[in-house]
Protein backbone atom coordinates (compact mmCIF):
# COMPACT_ATOMS: atom_id res chain seq x y z
CA UNK A 1 0.00 0.00 0.00
CA UNK A 2 1.31 3.42 -0.98
CA UNK A 3 1.68 6.27 1.50
CA UNK A 4 -0.61 9.20 0.68
CA UNK A 5 1.40 12.05 -0.77
CA UNK A 6 2.37 15.10 1.22
CA UNK A 7 4.65 18.08 0.93
CA UNK A 8 6.85 19.38 3.71
CA UNK A 9 9.15 22.34 3.67
CA UNK A 10 11.84 23.94 5.77
CA UNK A 11 13.83 27.12 5.33
CA UNK A 12 17.16 28.19 6.78
CA UNK A 13 19.04 31.35 5.83
CA UNK A 14 17.44 31.56 2.39
CA UNK A 15 17.81 27.86 1.55
CA UNK A 16 14.48 26.14 1.05
CA UNK A 17 14.07 22.39 1.36
CA UNK A 18 10.99 20.85 -0.21
CA UNK A 19 10.39 17.28 0.84
CA UNK A 20 7.95 15.25 -1.23
CA UNK A 21 6.67 12.17 0.60
CA UNK A 22 4.73 9.08 -0.49
CA UNK A 23 2.70 9.14 -3.70
CA UNK A 24 3.56 12.45 -5.33
CA UNK A 25 0.66 13.08 -7.68
CA UNK A 26 -1.34 15.73 -9.42
CA UNK A 27 -3.40 16.26 -6.25
CA UNK A 28 -0.40 17.95 -4.59
CA UNK A 29 0.39 20.30 -7.47
CA UNK A 30 -1.74 23.31 -6.45
CA UNK A 31 -0.15 23.34 -3.00
CA UNK A 32 3.33 22.82 -4.44
CA UNK A 33 2.81 25.65 -6.91
CA UNK A 34 1.74 28.01 -4.11
CA UNK A 35 4.84 27.15 -2.07
CA UNK A 36 7.08 27.76 -5.09
CA UNK A 37 5.42 31.11 -5.75
CA UNK A 38 5.92 32.22 -2.14
CA UNK A 39 9.51 30.95 -2.12
CA UNK A 40 10.48 32.88 -5.28
CA UNK A 41 8.89 36.06 -3.92
CA UNK A 42 10.92 35.83 -0.70
CA UNK A 43 13.67 38.53 -0.80
CA UNK A 44 16.18 36.30 1.04
CA UNK A 45 15.70 33.30 -1.30
CA UNK A 46 19.14 31.89 -2.15
CA UNK A 47 18.78 28.21 -3.04
CA UNK A 48 16.41 25.28 -3.11
CA UNK A 49 16.78 21.56 -2.41
CA UNK A 50 14.12 19.06 -3.44
CA UNK A 51 14.20 15.93 -1.30
CA UNK A 52 12.62 12.83 -2.87
CA UNK A 53 14.16 10.43 -0.32
CA UNK A 54 10.71 9.49 1.02
CA UNK A 55 8.83 9.70 -2.29
CA UNK A 56 7.45 6.34 -3.42
CA UNK A 57 6.19 7.40 -6.85
CA UNK A 58 6.05 10.67 -8.74
CA UNK A 59 3.76 11.37 -11.68
CA UNK A 60 4.61 13.31 -14.83
CA UNK A 61 2.61 16.39 -13.80
CA UNK A 62 4.64 16.65 -10.58
CA UNK A 63 7.84 16.13 -12.59
CA UNK A 64 6.79 18.98 -14.88
CA UNK A 65 6.29 21.22 -11.88
CA UNK A 66 9.77 20.32 -10.58
CA UNK A 67 11.23 21.11 -14.01
CA UNK A 68 9.47 24.49 -13.85
CA UNK A 69 10.97 25.04 -10.37
CA UNK A 70 14.45 24.45 -11.78
CA UNK A 71 13.90 26.80 -14.73
CA UNK A 72 12.59 29.54 -12.40
CA UNK A 73 15.48 29.04 -9.95
CA UNK A 74 18.06 29.30 -12.72
CA UNK A 75 16.47 32.56 -13.91
CA UNK A 76 16.27 34.06 -10.43
CA UNK A 77 19.42 32.84 -8.67
CA UNK A 78 21.49 31.54 -11.60
CA UNK A 79 22.02 28.06 -10.18
CA UNK A 80 20.63 24.59 -10.58
CA UNK A 81 18.66 23.30 -7.61
CA UNK A 82 19.77 20.15 -5.81
CA UNK A 83 17.53 17.10 -6.09
CA UNK A 84 17.99 14.30 -3.55
CA UNK A 85 16.92 10.99 -5.06
CA UNK A 86 18.25 7.85 -3.35
CA UNK A 87 15.70 5.50 -4.97
CA UNK A 88 17.07 3.94 -8.19
CA UNK A 89 13.59 3.64 -9.76
CA UNK A 90 12.82 7.34 -9.28
CA UNK A 91 16.35 8.40 -10.30
CA UNK A 92 15.97 6.38 -13.52
CA UNK A 93 12.76 8.29 -14.34
CA UNK A 94 14.47 11.62 -13.57
CA UNK A 95 17.39 10.75 -15.87
CA UNK A 96 15.07 9.61 -18.66
CA UNK A 97 13.34 13.01 -18.49
CA UNK A 98 16.65 14.92 -18.74
CA UNK A 99 16.65 16.15 -15.14
CA UNK A 100 20.44 15.75 -14.84
CA UNK A 101 20.70 18.85 -17.07
CA UNK A 102 18.46 21.02 -14.90
CA UNK A 103 19.19 19.70 -11.38
CA UNK A 104 22.22 18.59 -9.42
CA UNK A 105 21.05 15.06 -8.60
CA UNK A 106 22.42 13.62 -5.37
CA UNK A 107 21.74 9.95 -4.71
CA UNK A 108 22.96 9.58 -1.15
CA UNK A 109 21.09 11.13 1.72
CA UNK A 110 23.02 12.72 4.50
CA UNK A 111 20.80 12.98 7.52
CA UNK A 112 19.40 16.46 7.68
CA UNK A 113 17.97 17.91 10.81
CA UNK A 114 15.27 20.14 9.47
CA UNK A 115 12.17 21.26 11.22
CA UNK A 116 9.69 20.51 8.47
CA UNK A 117 6.28 22.08 8.23
CA UNK A 118 3.49 20.18 6.50
CA UNK A 119 1.76 22.01 3.69
CA UNK A 120 -1.99 21.72 3.53
CA UNK A 121 -3.23 20.29 0.27
CA UNK A 122 -5.81 22.32 -1.53
CA UNK A 123 -8.63 21.14 -3.69
CA UNK A 124 -8.66 22.53 -7.20
CA UNK A 125 -11.27 23.09 -9.82
CA UNK A 126 -11.19 20.75 -12.78
CA UNK A 127 -10.21 23.69 -14.96
CA UNK A 128 -7.18 24.65 -12.86
CA UNK A 129 -6.06 21.00 -12.68
CA UNK A 130 -6.34 20.78 -16.48
CA UNK A 131 -4.26 23.96 -16.88
CA UNK A 132 -1.57 22.65 -14.48
CA UNK A 133 -1.34 19.27 -16.24
CA UNK A 134 -1.01 21.00 -19.62
CA UNK A 135 1.62 23.47 -18.37
CA UNK A 136 3.62 20.75 -16.60
CA UNK A 137 3.78 18.55 -19.69
CA UNK A 138 4.72 21.47 -21.94
CA UNK A 139 7.60 22.16 -19.53
CA UNK A 140 8.72 18.50 -19.70
CA UNK A 141 8.54 18.62 -23.51
CA UNK A 142 10.87 21.62 -23.53
CA UNK A 143 13.62 19.63 -21.77
CA UNK A 144 14.58 17.23 -24.56
CA UNK A 145 13.57 15.47 -27.77
CA UNK A 146 12.48 12.24 -26.07
CA UNK A 147 10.08 14.13 -23.83
CA UNK A 148 8.87 16.06 -26.89
CA UNK A 149 7.92 12.76 -28.54
CA UNK A 150 6.60 11.13 -25.35
CA UNK A 151 4.21 13.92 -24.39
CA UNK A 152 3.23 15.61 -27.67
CA UNK A 153 0.08 13.49 -28.15
CA UNK A 154 -1.03 14.08 -24.57
CA UNK A 155 -0.45 17.83 -24.88
CA UNK A 156 -2.38 17.97 -28.18
CA UNK A 157 -5.23 16.05 -26.54
CA UNK A 158 -5.24 18.38 -23.52
CA UNK A 159 -5.21 21.44 -25.79
CA UNK A 160 -8.17 20.07 -27.75
CA UNK A 161 -10.12 19.35 -24.56
CA UNK A 162 -9.55 22.89 -23.42
CA UNK A 163 -11.20 24.59 -26.36
CA UNK A 164 -14.83 25.54 -25.74
CA UNK A 165 -17.48 23.70 -27.69
CA UNK A 166 -18.70 25.67 -30.65
CA UNK A 167 -22.43 25.39 -31.08
CA UNK A 168 -24.06 26.44 -34.32
Looking at the predicted structure, is the pLDDT value of residue 168 above 70? no
Distance between CA atoms of 124 and 139, rounded to whole angstroms? 20
Q: Distance between alpha carbon 12 and the CA centroid of its chain, in Å? A: 21
Distance between CA atoms of 127 and 164, rounded to whole angstroms? 12
119 phi and psi angles, rounded to 5 deg:
-105, 130
Looking at the predicted structure, is the pLDDT value of residue 27 above 90? no
* Domain membership flag for residue 1: no
Q: Nearest to residue 69, comparing CAs of 26, 40, 100, 106?
A: 40
- Please tell me the predicted confidence (pLDDT) of residue 163: 62
Q: Nearest to residue 68, comparing CAs of 25, 36, 21, 111?
A: 36
- Please tell me the predicted confidence (pLDDT) of residue 145: 96
Q: Considering its fold, how many domains does the chain have in total?
A: 1
Confidence of residue 91 (pLDDT cuts 50, 70, 90): very high
CATH number at residue 88: 3.30.750.24
* Domain membership flag for residue 31: yes
Tell me the whole-structure pTM to 2 decimals: 0.87
Amino acid sequence: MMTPGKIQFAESEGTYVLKLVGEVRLTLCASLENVLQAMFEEPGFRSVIVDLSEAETIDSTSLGLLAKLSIMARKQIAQRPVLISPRPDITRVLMSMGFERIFIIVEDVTSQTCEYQDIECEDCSEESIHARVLDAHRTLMSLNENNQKAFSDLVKQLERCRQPEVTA
